[in-house]
Amino acid sequence: MKSDSVRALARASGVASSRSLTTARSVLRVLSLLIERPDGVRANEVAQALGKSVSTAYYLLTSLCEEGFAVHESKGMYRPARGLEELSSAAEETSALHEGIEATVDQLFAATRKRSYLGVVRARRIEIVAFHGRQGVPRMPGLGSEIRDSAHALAMGKVVLSLLRPRARTHYMARGLKAFTPETIIDPDQLEADLERVRRQGFAVDREEFDENFCCVAAPIFDDHRRFVAALGLSTTRHVFDAERDRLSESVIEIAQAATAAATEQTAMRAPAGRTRSQAARRQRLIPVA
């Protein structure tokens, strides 16, 4: 009798496991469909592609939305969710430009004598691709070579978050804003207000928000099409930051703007004969700070 119960339980477990695997495969197929059709799909289209009922399609799409892999927009349209990766396409398209702007790190260090960083967006993270700091200048503890869930606590991360679409920022905040120090902004409304200041002023700061006694300033670099390319920033101690905040901010902004202007000039030099240098120059002057 006992062995019969064990066999029955094993059969039930096998059925449950099979069902779970089938559901997982269906979810992956829906996710693949969303990626293939970034303009969006409807539940009935998903049902037809999977050979399942519309109610099952709704269930799968809703599950992906709840986990942050998809978003439900107006008129029953579902699209793949976009976060930091929505900026990566521009970064990848301008990889050659990245090599040229790495020099901005050296320029910023020469102007400020503070440890300087350059970050680009790649696959849901901000990767530190270059930094410069003389011996004895401390590096930000725990920063490592990339920024993921600490974007809201670092000036470089705030630059990127400020440029995301509202839905993408909401998606980032919905995962929870981790407190790294007592100064970390963990209230979504307060963070949104801070990011609005970043967009208005053209640069971001953090004062002991990621680590005690460390502060940062960062500004965005754009290409000639006004696409985000990289974030340029520096870190320093609280004492220096409080005493030299304006000067340091001006240096970061000035060098980031110069890199943006240089990108525009490079494109102007490669422009067809129909576009004159004066036209390119006018276009360059029209590029504002985000």
* Residue given tokens 């990848």 in the structure block: 92
Distance, CA of 268 to CA of 265 (rounded, Å): 5
Task: Please check the confidence at residue 3 and state whether its pLDDT lies above 70.
Answer: no
Residue 222's H or E segment, with its range, is strand 215-222
Per-residue pLDDT reduced to its tens digit, 222-244: 988 888 889 999 999 999 999 99
Mapped onto helix, strand or coil, the DSSP state of residue 130 is strand
Domains of the chain (ranges plus CATH)? 2-80 (1.10.10.10), 87-285 (3.30.450.40)
Residue 4 confidence (pLDDT): 52
User: Terminal CA-to-CA distance of the chain, rounded, Å?
Assistant: 74
Residue that the structure tokens 């220096």 belong to: 240
Q: How many residues does the chain have?
A: 290
Q: What share of the chain is helix, strand, coil (3-state, %, to 5)?
A: 55, 15, 30
User: What is the C-alpha to C-alpha distance for residues 179 and 181, in angstroms, rounded to an integer?
Assistant: 6
Average pLDDT score over residue span 78-83: 70
Instruction: Read off the pLDDT of residues 124-159 as tens digits, 9 standing for 90 and up.
Output: 788 888 888 875 555 655 666 789 889 999 999 999
b/e sequence 135-174, b meaning 16+ C-beta within 10 Å: eeeeebeebeeebeebbbbbbbbbbbbbbbeeebbebbbe
Give dist(CA 186, CA 176) in Å, integer: 8
pLDDT value, residue 133? 81
Contact 64, 27 (CB under 8 A): yes
Give CA–CA dist 276/83, Å, rounded: 38
From 186, 218, 174, 225, select the one nearest 71 (Cα to Cα).
174
Question: In Å, what is the CA distance from 284 to each residue of 179, 262, 287, 288?
Answer: 40, 9, 6, 9
Mean pLDDT for the stretch of residues 169-187: 93
Higher pLDDT, 130 or 67: 130
Q: Are 34 and 78 in contact (CB under 8 A)?
A: yes
Residue 116, classed as helix, strand or coil, is strand
pLDDT of amino acid 243: 97
More confident site: 124 or 276: 124
Q: Which residues contact 121 (CB under 8 A, 6 or more apart)?
A: 84, 85, 87, 88, 91, 127, 160, 228
Residue 160 near residue 228, CB atoms below 8 Å: yes
**pLDDT value for 283:** 33
Q: How far apart are CA 191 and CA 175, in angstroms?
A: 14
